[in-house]
Amino acid sequence: MQRLSGKVALVTGGVRGIGRGIAELFAAEGAAVTAVDVLDPAGSAGSTGGVGQADADGTAAGSLEFGRLDVTDEAGWARTVAAVEERHGGLDILVNNAGVGSYEAIHELAQDEWNRVLGVNQTGVFLGMRAAIPALRRSGGGSVINISSIYGAAAVPGSLAYQATKGAVLSMTRNAAITYAGENIRANAVLPGWIRTPMTEAQTREFNDTVIASTPMGRGADPRDIAYGCVYLASDESSYVTGTDLVIDGGFLAR
């Protein structure tokens, strides 16, 4: 029995990096997954399982489809959620994963950059939850997973806008958890440590080495390590878990 059999999931920033890892593992666990991104899915598109196929035990296999959505686009969110409901008959899981890095300290941070980062990392999460909650209600409940960061809980020098947004994601997740708890809609945050993705590959070697050196396990991890935690939060195994922070960071925050 797959852990997400029969569930319908929407994952943002799902063409590559952590979002891709989540989308692929969700599909492998039986979910019908729509992965949306600003990136053109052409060339990145693939599928895990197959629509309508079945496993040896008769369980319906998962599926993975790609679509376009800029998470700052309010109208785009409405279209995306409607399309998922129409195609799959409902929505059970939203993963707000799309995010952008930002590295400037307060004194060097331009307001345009501040606005850009808040737009994607914070407003995008708000718009996603707002668009999805009516659909989750129609499904009789569901699971929202918001990808924060170790930098939502701990400060390091610089990266003001990024840390501000990732802290806000924790607050917004708790707010959603207690606001909708009575409607069987759960909301939890995931705090990854250093994960090997295009985002971290684009960072300076010095930045990456500093984070990994501060990680008690002495290494980074792969998108799959985050995806396994998300499968738990998306599945009925976590039916009593809401408003929590799942830290997956090799011990970074335990120091």
Which residue among 62, 128, 192, 250 contacts ligand NAP (CB under 6 A)? 192
Furthest-apart CA atoms within the chain: distance in Å: 59
Count of beta carbons in the 10 Å neighbourhood of residue 95: 29
Shortest spacing between CB 9 and ligand NAP, in angstroms: 16
- From the list 26-34, 173-181, 188-196, 235-243, the region that binds ligand NAP by CB under 6 A is 188-196
Match 């949306």 to its residue by tokens: 36
- From the list 7-15, 54-62, 78-86, 176-184, the region that binds ligand NAP by CB under 6 A is 7-15
Task: Determine contact, residues 11/22, Cβ cutoff 8 Å.
Answer: yes
Which residue among 18, 22, 33, 231 contacts ligand NAP (CB under 6 A)? 18
Determine the 3-state secondary structure of 233 from DSSP.
helix
For ligand NAP, which is the closer residue by CB, 98 or 136?
98
Determine the 3-state secondary structure of 144 from DSSP.
strand
Q: Is 151 a catalytic residue?
A: no
Using CB under 6 A, count the residues that bind ligand NAP. 29
> What kind and span of H or E run contains 81?
helix 74-88
Phi (first) and psi of residue 47, to 5 degrees: -140, 150
Which residue among 11, 61, 120, 127 contacts ligand NAP (CB under 6 A)? 120
Which residue among 8, 71, 93, 164 contacts ligand NAP (CB under 6 A)? 71
* Residue 98 found at the interface with ligand NAP (CB under 6 A): yes
Shortest spacing between CB 243 and ligand NAP, in angstroms: 19
Q: What tokens appear for 80 in the block?
A: 């995306």
Amino acid at 186: R
Which residue among 49, 99, 229, 250 contacts ligand NAP (CB under 6 A)? 99
* Residue 212 found at the interface with ligand NAP (CB under 6 A): no
Query: Which of 80, 84, 166 has its CA nearest to residue 125?
Result: 166
* Residue 229 found at the interface with ligand NAP (CB under 6 A): no
Catalytic position from the list 162, 180, 228, 240: 162
**Distance in Å from the first CA to the final CA of the chain:** 38
- From the list 22-30, 63-71, 133-141, 178-186, the region that binds ligand NAP by CB under 6 A is 63-71
Task: Determine contact, residues 203/220, Cβ cutoff 8 Å.
Answer: no
Match 């929505």 to its residue by tokens: 91
- Strand duo 185-192 + 142-147: pairing: parallel
Tell me the C-alpha distance between 44 and 63, whole Å: 15
For ligand NAP, which is the closer residue by CB, 149 or 188?
149
* Residue 246 found at the interface with ligand NAP (CB under 6 A): no
* Residue 131 found at the interface with ligand NAP (CB under 6 A): no
The alpha carbon of 60 is separated from its chain's Cα centroid by a whole number of angstroms, namely 24
List contacts with ligand NAP (CB under 6 A). Answer: 12-13, 15-19, 37-39, 69-72, 97-100, 120, 124, 147, 149, 192, 194-195, 197-200
Catalytic residues: 162
